[in-house]
């Protein structure tokens, strides 16, 4: 909120596609808790699942059958996942996947894309998107030189740079969001991710696809299904926990059996696979059938098309994939972090403030995605488009 010149808005409650703040204002919410709430706020089925689980106890430190059900649901959606390990956050899952990649290859360097965000693990907090990009922070103090030196940063959509980085440093892994959404939504150009898959496979480098945002959202099987590229390791979160803390990483049996106690790569977490989070995640995923994805894609497209129309010939690019979009205040299509960074933050700030004043809550940063949910209906879209008309006028006044 500081980046758009507003005080933070304190929330009292959420229901469906709406949030209410402590001052009694109602907003159409396009942030959806930054992604998890694909069914909307306080969905009755999810609330009921959490209540029922809580009545049986909140944590056991031992396995439950529901964890197996959730793992089977995930494995059914991702062809590349035979086994998975749950964690409580996407950060932990990324960190653990990188540790496994280093153990499996015996190498140490990691290749990451500029503008990508994989959580706040030390080694990846350089040229990261999301909050760091919003605050204009190139890297975080507290990260040692040794940690930073293990990370090579390459531009998104630049296959040549990926090839050169692999040749130069023989890395353990390349980590990518298959559909980057932490510098705003910047999809891969045709053939780019396929080329990264080839380059990594040829060099014995583990390809980690971070589907914390895209997984369970852009398609039933995430970015991998949408783009037809398979990861060696997949990182998941957000929708997986249905609004409670759950995340996971997974891949082939051969790789995942290296994780302790089956193997020698240590990783653990007191609340991993927490029964409440598992109940919320399972209740959410079970409602996400083929029809749900068609509906979410249609909602996204109606919003994106409406925004494009209303923006008219102003320098605005609405970049979208099913379930995600970003309104870039840019005259050029955005294909990488450099392009995203060149977009006009002051105009975006005026646009956001105008929307908030009219009861519409967009992400208060151009370096984040809008997260449509299945609770957003025609009325929510109509209110948003009406506010956006004023918003574009005020942004360019
Ligand atoms: C792509 C991606 N990976 C990882 C993370 C980290 O997840 P968490 O915030 O649960 O630690 C995020 C968070 O926004 C993310 O967008």
Give the atom of ligand 1 at the shortest distance from the alpha carbon of 94. 4
Q: Say how far apart CA 143 and CA 38 lie, in whole Å.
A: 34
- Model pLDDT for residues 10-21, shown as the tens digit of each residue: 999 999 999 999
Distance of CA 120 to the CA centre of its chain: 13
Q: Where are the alpha helices (DSSP H) in the chain?
A: 44-55, 65-77, 90-105, 131-134, 145-149, 159-169, 192-202, 222-227, 253-256, 275-287, 290-311, 337-341, 345-357, 378-395
- Give the three-class secondary structure for 176: strand
Tokens 């990649």 identify what position? 101
Assess contact for 31 and 361: CB atoms under 8 A.
yes
- Closest residue by Cα to atom 5, ligand 1, is 119
Spatial neighbors of 21 by CB under 8 A, at least 6 apart, are 9, 10, 11, 12, 27
The tokens describing 279, both together, are 């109940």
Ligand 1 center from residue 270 Cα (angstroms): 20
Ligand 1 center from residue 352 Cα (angstroms): 23
Please tell me whether the overall predicted TM-score, pTM, comes out greater than 0.75 for this model: yes
Catalytic site residues? 117, 210, 238
Q: Which of 116, 210, 212 has the most ligand 1 atoms within 8 A of CB, as the residue to mutate?
A: 212
Tokens 């709430």 identify what position? 37
pLDDT tens for the chain, 397 residues: list them: 988 999 999 999 999 999 999 999 999 999 999 999 999 999 999 999 999 999 999 999 999 999 999 999 999 999 999 999 999 999 999 999 999 999 999 999 999 999 999 999 998 887 766 776 666 666 778 888 888 889 999 999 999 999 999 999 999 999 999 999 999 999 999 999 999 999 999 999 999 999 999 999 999 999 999 999 999 999 999 999 999 999 999 999 999 999 999 999 999 999 999 999 999 999 999 999 999 999 999 999 999 999 999 999 999 999 999 999 999 999 999 999 999 999 999 999 999 999 999 999 999 999 999 999 999 999 999 999 999 999 999 999 8
Ligand 1 center from residue 119 Cα (angstroms): 5
Give the atom of ligand 1 at the shortest distance from the alpha carbon of 34. 14
Ligand 1 center from residue 137 Cα (angstroms): 17
Q: Say how far apart CA 39 and CA 45 lie, in whole Å.
A: 10
- Model pLDDT for residues 101-156, shown as the tens digit of each residue: 999 999 999 999 999 999 999 988 877 667 766 666 667 788 888 888 899 999 99
Average pLDDT, the chain: 96
The tokens describing 120, both together, are 């706040």
Tokens 């997984």 identify what position? 215
pLDDT of residue 137: 60
Assess contact for 372 and 16: CB atoms under 8 A.
no
- Closest residue by Cα to atom 4, ligand 1, is 118
Ligand 1 center from residue 60 Cα (angstroms): 26
Give the atom of ligand 1 at the shortest distance from the alpha carbon of 116. 1
Q: Which of 119, 121, 368 has the most ligand 1 atoms within 8 A of CB, as the residue to mutate?
A: 119
Ligand 1 center from residue 42 Cα (angstroms): 22
Peptide bond before residue 256 is cis, with ω within 30 degrees of 0: no
- Tell me the sheet residues that pair with 11: 21
pLDDT of residue 127: 73
Give the atom of ligand 1 at the shortest distance from the alpha carbon of 214. 1
Burial class (CB in 10 A: 0-12, 13-18, 19+), 33: middle
Tokens 């890395």 identify what position? 171
The tokens describing 96, both together, are 């653990």
Ligand 1, CB within 6 Å, residue ranges: 34, 89-91, 94, 117-119, 130, 177, 182, 210, 212-213, 237, 247
């Amino acid at each position: 909120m500081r980046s758009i010149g507003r005080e933070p808005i304190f929330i009292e409650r959420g229901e469906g596609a709406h949030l209410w703040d402590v001052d009694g204002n109602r907003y159409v919410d396009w942030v959806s808790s930054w992604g998890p709430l694909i069914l909307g706020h306080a969905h009755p089925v999810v609330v009921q699942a959490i209540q029922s689980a809580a009545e049986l106890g909140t944590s056991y430190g031992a396995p439950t059958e529901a964890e197996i059900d959730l793992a089977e649901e995930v494995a059914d959606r991702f062809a590349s996942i035979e086994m998975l390990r749950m964690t409580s956050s996407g950060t932990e899952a990324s960190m653990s996947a990188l540790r496994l990649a280093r153990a499996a290859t015996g190498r140490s360097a990691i290749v990451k894309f500029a503008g990508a965000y994989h959580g706040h693990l030390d080694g990846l907090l350089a040229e990261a998107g999301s909050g760091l990009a919003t605050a204009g922070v190139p890297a975080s103090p507290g990260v040692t030189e040794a940690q930073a030196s293990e990370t090579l940063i390459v531009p998104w959509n630049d296959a040549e740079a990926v090839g050169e980085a692999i040749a130069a440093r023989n890395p353990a892994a390349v980590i990518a969001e298959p559909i980057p959404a932490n510098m705003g939504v910047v999809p891969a150009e045709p053939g780019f991710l396929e080329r990264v898959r080839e380059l990594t496979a040829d060099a014995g480098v583990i390809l980690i696809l971070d589907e914390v945002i895209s997984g369970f959202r852009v398609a039933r099987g995430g970015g991998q299904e949408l783009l037809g590229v398979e990861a060696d390791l997949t990182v998941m979160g957000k929708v997986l926990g249905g609004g409670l803390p759950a995340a996971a990483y997974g891949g082939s049996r051969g790789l995942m059996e290296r994780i302790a106690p089956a193997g020698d790569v240590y990783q653990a977490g007191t609340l991993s696979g927490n029964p409440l989070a598992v109940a919320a995640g399972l209740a959410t995923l079970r409602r996400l059938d083929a029809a749900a994805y068609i509906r979410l894609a249609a909602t996204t497209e109606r919003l994106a098309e409406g925004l494009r129309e209303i923006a008219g010939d102003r320098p605005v690019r609405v970049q979208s994939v099913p379930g995600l979009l970003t309104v870039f205040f840019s005259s050029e299509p955005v294909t990488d972090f450099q392009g995203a960074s060149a977009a006009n933050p002051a105009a975006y700030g005026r646009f956001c403030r105008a929307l908030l004043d009219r009861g519409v809550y967009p992400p208060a940063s151009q370096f984040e995605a809008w997260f449509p949910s299945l609770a957003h209906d025609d009325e929510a879209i109509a209110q948003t488009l009406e506010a956006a008309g004023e918003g574009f006028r005020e942004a360019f006044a």
